[in-house]
Amino acid sequence: MTDPEPNPTTDRALLEAAAKAAGIKLLPAPDGSLRNCTGMHPEQNIMAAPYWSPLTDDGDALRLAVALQLSPLVYRSRRMSSCVVPLDGVPSCQEPWGHDGDCAATRRAIVRAAAAVGAGKAPFPTAEEIRENWTGAAHD
């Protein structure tokens, strides 16, 4: 499997592209953190919004993978994590394990795959397209 190189190279750009793909309204807070402001009213305090950091938070990474129907995989024998977008012809994002270990590599693979979707490199399929690719035939 090939490893796509999304345009965003900084963690901030990766997070912004991933949030875009998942429909998350991501805003920077005065403390420098990124906050998930989805569903918040403009008059609400941004500091009341939850932190959003799927690169460091397992829960945020899992929710991102579920929202985009991504499939994270861990290859212990190769010391690598991968994340697959469920559409034929879309390459997976592979991330070698570094000093941070398998969980950090898996989170980064998820964010990179989501960022590729958000950057338009891998258009996210509709539910019907997913069914067609997985079963070979459209369902009613």
Question: Tens of pLDDT along 86-111?
Answer: 755 556 788 889 888 899 999 999 99
Non-local (6+) Cβ contacts of 84 within 8 A are 70, 71, 72, 73, 90, 92, 113
The DSSP symbol for 101 reads H
Residue 59 belongs to some domain of the structure: yes
Q: Whole domain around residue 71: which residue ranges? A: 11-131
d(CA 4, CA 128): 25
Q: Is the pLDDT of residue 3 over 50?
A: no
User: With the CA atoms of 100, 117, 35 and 59 taken in that order, what torsion angle do they form, in degrees rounded to the nearest 10?
Assistant: -50
Residue 6 inside a domain? The answer is: no
Encode pLDDT of 70-79 as tens digits. Answer: 999 999 888 8
Indicate whether 137 belongs to any domain: no
Task: State how many domains the chain has.
Answer: 1
Residue 140 included in any domain: no
